[in-house]
Chain A
Amino acid sequence: MAKSDLDDLYGDKILEHCRSPRNHDRLVDADAAAHTVNAFCGDESDVQISVDGGRVVGVGAQAVGCSINQAATSMLAQATEWVLLDDLASLIDLFRRQMKGEDLSEWDLARLGDLAMLSSVLNFPVRIKCTLLPVSALEEALESVGTG
């Protein structure tokens, strides 16, 4: 029973992102970069983005911390690349709604891609903040390129 709860939290997709994080290289010459720290646990997320023609054309994302934070950072980077800035704002909103426990439509879940897998964290409320650390970094970066 306990084991299956754990398996629900650390689904294969989460562990896989953790082991092979996407867009892990630091983006040089990025248009914006942001760094967020969870003062409570010391976890960190770094996000760099390049923007061209109203679209994110490059993403770099690095996490220091637990596997949930690492997976969320990787999934977010993956979901961000090549997305129109307008769409990105609503994607972030969608993800935040998911992590508040809102029921999302199948269409919305499909939009979230791998990020949808993080709904498993909802059963472990104390870990939800781990999924939002890279989101705050991305929002901060977007704000500094004037789209937040």
Chain B
Amino acid sequence: MAEATQQASLDVTKIRDDFPILSRKVNGKPLVYLDNAATSQKPRQVISALTEYYEGYNANVHRGVHSLSMEATDRYEEAREKVARFIGARQSEEVIWTRNTTEAINLVTGSWARSNLQPGDEVVVTEIEHHSNMVPWQMVTQERGATLRYLRLGDDGKLDLDDIDTIINDRTKMVSIVHASNSLGTINPVKKITARARAVGAAVMIDGAQSVPHMPVDVQDLDCDFLAFSGHKMLGPTGIGVLYVKREILETMDPFLTGGEMVLSVTLDGADWNDLPMRFEAGTPNIADAIALGAAVDYLDNTGMDNIRRHEVLLTGYALSRLREIEELVIFGAEAAEDRGGVVSFHTSDVHPHDLGTYLDQQGIAVRTGHHCTMPVMRKLGVPATTRASFYLYNSEEEVDHLVDSLKSALRYFGHG
């Protein structure tokens, strides 16, 4: 029955045809790629966008009056508009290209936080942040004499919001939270947290690295000031990421990196900053990958983010029910598939995650094992590492079956009996 509904939302077989890598074999077995939270595979349309740029109109942007440069600039800015529309930004100037989510967050801590945090101020993140939304805040709060506070992870794999009114208070200047956890899969109630942040006048940043690729995300609906995400997790190339900043805030921010492209005029005494968003994009940008990210956004739009989300909820629900057949597994994160992104993290004390990862790799299955850059989460769960399967639009129930069968045989293989 689940399969029938799934068929209705996405034609997985047809989608898989767009991804050349999915037809290859790994260790003699058909590739089962379940490491999408680390990076997604790329459809032919995205790969073509890269070669079309390099073969057809490779030139630097925003300079030169020659045709190639203008063509490249048009396509590059068109990609920015696509991304802006995709996340519900009011203007494309609110979209700043970065290398990835990490750089986007560092832009906020390096620019906004440096001029807005005073001694005694507080910043709130959660215990389940990826290191990329924890370490930059640890650094900048320390530098500014501010305090970093954490919303706690409850025993049910969800955030414990009982003391939200104490943690987010009049001293809070910024609430920066992960939308969907990369290590547990839990989707956080960001709107509830944002509402509390608004009540005390704090700014809000959302780490959308694991949500923007997988579900409809609208910055107006979330009511956030900043949204950070990476292109490579949403069918795009590596090396291109996005920071959305609400225009009113962006206009007050100092540049992060300085040099060429971000200035309007330079004299020996100083410089005037360029218009938005170029003020935040020093140097020759990552033109090809931005354009290819535009192609990825087209692909996601055509498939429909609602359809992708529905497919992943069904597939995650199926995976959870099949994995629960295996008694030896402890499955982390929220119980219901609706409360998760397409991520299932589990542990067994019988086999170490790295042994499991090697075993599954021999069966052609790619999963991530380790702490997933969330060491505080691992400490809280009391495990050194977990095994994580993460899904995307091209994954199928057959692949989940293969994972479950292989896990069962791995347990037998390493069995201490």
Contact = CB atoms under 8 A, between A and B. Distances in A.
B384 A43 contact: yes
B416 interface: yes
Given A9-B358, A65-B352, A41 B27 contact: no
Contacts of A130: 354
Contacts of B354: 41, 43, 65-66, 68, 127, 130
Interface in B374-414: 375, 378, 384-385, 413-414
Interface residues on A, range: 20 to 34
Query: Of A2, A40, A43, A127, which is in contact with the most chain B CB atoms at under 10 Å from its CB?
Result: A2
B358 to A, nearest CB: 6
Nearest to B352: A66
A104 interface: no
A128 to B, nearest CB: 12
Interface string A59-81: 00000111110000000000000
B270 interface: no
A2 B352 contact: no
A46 to B, nearest CB: 14
Contacts, number: 53
Given A2-B363, A127-B358, A130-B354, A40 B384 contact: no
A6 B378 CA distance: 28
Nearest to A65: B352
A105 B356 CA distance: 33
B13 interface: no
Interface in A34-60: 40-44
A67 B352 contact: yes
Contacts of B64: none
Contacts of A6: 358-359, 362, 413
Given A6-B413, A65-B354, A42 B371 contact: yes
B362 A5 contact: yes
Interface residues of B, number: 22
A2 B355 contact: no
B370 A40 contact: yes
Contacts of A41: 354, 369-371, 384-385
Contacts of B370: 40-42
A50 B413 CA distance: 37
Nearest to B385: A42
A67 B413 CA distance: 12
Contacts of A15: 414
Contacts of A66: 352-355
Contacts of B90: none
A19 B27 contact: no
Contacts of A10: 355, 413-414
Nearest to B27: A2
Interface in B71-98: none
Residue of B27, B353, B354, B385 ringed by the most chain A CB atoms within 10 A: B354
Contact of A1 (B28, B351, B353, B375): B28
Contacts of A67: 351-352, 355, 414
B352 A42 contact: no
Interface string A114-144: 0000000000100100100000000000000
Interface string B282-297: 0000000000000000
A11 B232 CA distance: 38
Contacts of A40: 370
A2 B371 contact: no
Contacts of B413: 6, 10
Contact of A65 (B363, B371, B384): B384
A43 B358 CA distance: 15
A43 B28 CA distance: 30
A48 to B, nearest CB: 21
B146 to A, nearest CB: 28
A124 B414 CA distance: 17
Interface of B: 27-29, 351-355, 358-359, 362-363, 369-371, 375, 378, 384-385, 413-414, 416
Given A2-B362, A6-B413, A41-B384, 18 more contacts: A1-B28, A5-B362, A6-B358, A10-B414, A15-B414, A41-B370, A42-B371, A42-B375, A42-B378, A43-B384, A64-B384, A65-B352, A65-B354, A65-B384, A66-B352, A66-B355, A68-B355, A127-B354
5 contacts: A2-B29, A2-B362, A6-B358, A10-B413, A66-B352
